[in-house]
Amino acid sequence: MRLFPYSEKERLQTLFVVMVAFALLGPTFGIPVTPNFKLTLFRVTFFVLLGLLLFQWAFRHRLDIVHMNRIRSHLGFFGFWLAYSIVSLTWAMDPGMGIRYTIFLFMMVTLCLTFPFFIRSEESLWRISRAVFWTFFVIVVYGVFESVTHIHLPSSRYWGQNVASITSVFTNQNDLATAITLLLPFLGIALYGLRGSLRLKGLVYLTIVFALYCLLVTGSRGNTFFALPLMIIVWFMTLPFTVPREKLVNWRNWLKGAGVVISIAVIVGFMYMLLFNGATRYKLATSFGIFLDIQGTTWNVDEWNGQLEAGAGTQGMSIIIRWYLLMYGLRFLRESHFMGVGAGNVEAHMEAYRELLDNKVNIHNWWAEVLVNFGVIVFALYVIFYAVLLWRLWKLARLKTSPQVSPLVRWGAHSSMLALIGYLFGGMVPSTAIHFTPMWIVYGIALAVVVVGELQKARRKGTVGGPAMFPDH
């Protein structure tokens, strides 16, 4: 009789699902060890899972990665990126910060690649989708609760303060907002792209309502007025190519869709007006003043007088600070001969200007973070492979090019594509994204969908996959 009722493979799959849930919950479940290090349950499960996989490979020779051949070019890029990060330590101003950053990069790349490693079928895709959904549901439900009670978690920057801002399980509101825009496409497309019971559809609907309310309460201009509208525009443009024509021309479907959208907008609007009395309404109202703020800055930091003044458009200093963080970052890049300042060393170079920039040293832009830390070579490759991934997802989402894939895979491909497109703006919101797990998780899901979808196309060539159903358990 076995001690555990599951096979070793099933136990590893379960540990993977648990790790992903803890990755989304971030620093909420953790114990501070030092002022700069917290032992989180994500880190514990990550290294336990990694150790078990290495044990299988070293002693049992049972690490099957043949199916990942479909994304071998992405694997090669990640390997090159990690190698470059290690080599860059030789010219980094602060090698200690570089080592720490490289460890984060290794962990996040590994987290990302566990998705295509473990997700090899529709069943495993459903399993991880359920885990991500329920974890996200908990995140937004607590966000609603937090907005009403002002009870913040210990991981929040507002812990112990009676303020209206919400962060849920994250440290600040911008991280929460970016996580929401990354995961919203999966919920929105599930409402019409997947078949399921009314109860499950209602749960998805409720989660969308809570998520949009939380997004508004965060006051994140980049996510609310740039990332989200971009995703909606791209979704509307791609809709005719991803939905069967007989469903698209049915006017009843359009009426149902309009009813759902209008009802969500009305409910979220009422919640925002009745439950929340914070100052983010004015902040959101000044979103398009961002461009006026930028007009009042300079491209050359040597011409800047070093005085921070409220922007003419937003009447705040956030955009001004972010602009000069970016300009100083580009100066550091030029001084490094475009090779990058070294892994994680943007902050080390920015320390000299901390007082000028309101004690901010993070560059607050994921794209600039990659560019300035690692130089134009890594950045160019990152952008190229990002674009290639979007193209491969689009081919799987499109009915004409991939009639063989199941609606489940099509849902995953379309949702991942929209999420990554929205992140073009969303990535400019968090202070740093090297350990921002929602982004790496969505990237990993996208790679897994490519693997499963292209395997389906190879196996089912000439046939059409059957309908996907919401899981009943």
Task: Specify the pLDDT at position 283.
Answer: 67
Reported pTM: 0.92
What pLDDT shows up at residue 4? Answer: 38
Residues 288-306 have pLDDT tens digits of 677 777 777 787 887 777 7
SS3 195: strand
Alpha-carbon span 364 to 429, nearest angstrom: 6
Query: Is 362 in contact with 431 (CB distance < 8 Å)?
Result: yes
Burial class (CB within 10 angstroms; exposed 0-12, middle 13-18, buried 19+) of 125: buried
Residue 26: per-residue pLDDT: 82
Q: Any idea of the CA torsion for 436, 437, 442, 447, to the nearest 10 degrees? A: 110
Helix, strand, coil percentages (3-state) for the chain, rounded to 5, are: 70, 0, 30
168 close to 139: Cβ distance less than 8 angstroms: yes
Taking the CA atoms of the chain, what radius of gyration do you get in angstroms? 23
Tell me: pLDDT of 319 over 50.
Answer: yes
List, for residues 250-290, the tens digit of each pLDDT value. Answer: 999 999 999 999 999 999 999 999 888 766 666 676 666 77
65-93: pLDDT as tens digits:
888 999 999 999 999 999 999 999 999 99
State the residue for tokens 């350990």: 435
In the predicted model, is pLDDT for residue 107 greater than 70?
A: yes
Lowest-pLDDT range of 57-66, 263-272, 415-424: 57-66
Cα separation of 114 and 448, whole Å?
A: 9
Q: Specify which residues 39 forms β-bridges with.
A: 31
- Confidence at residue 62, expressed as pLDDT on a 0 to 100 scale: 67
Task: Please state the domain extents for the chain.
Answer: 1-63
pLDDT of residue 282: 63
DSSP E strands, 27-165: 30-34, 37-40
With left for phi above 0 and alpha for psi between -120 and 50, is residue 152 left, alpha or beta? beta
Task: Note the pLDDT of residue 369.
Answer: 98
Q: Dihedral of the CA atoms 420, 425, 426, 431 (nearest 10)?
A: 130
Q: What is the pLDDT of residue 56?
A: 83
Name the DSSP class of 362. S
Amino acid at 9: K
* Confidence grade of residue 3 (pLDDT, cut at 50, 70, 90): very low
Average of per-residue pLDDT across 106-124: 96
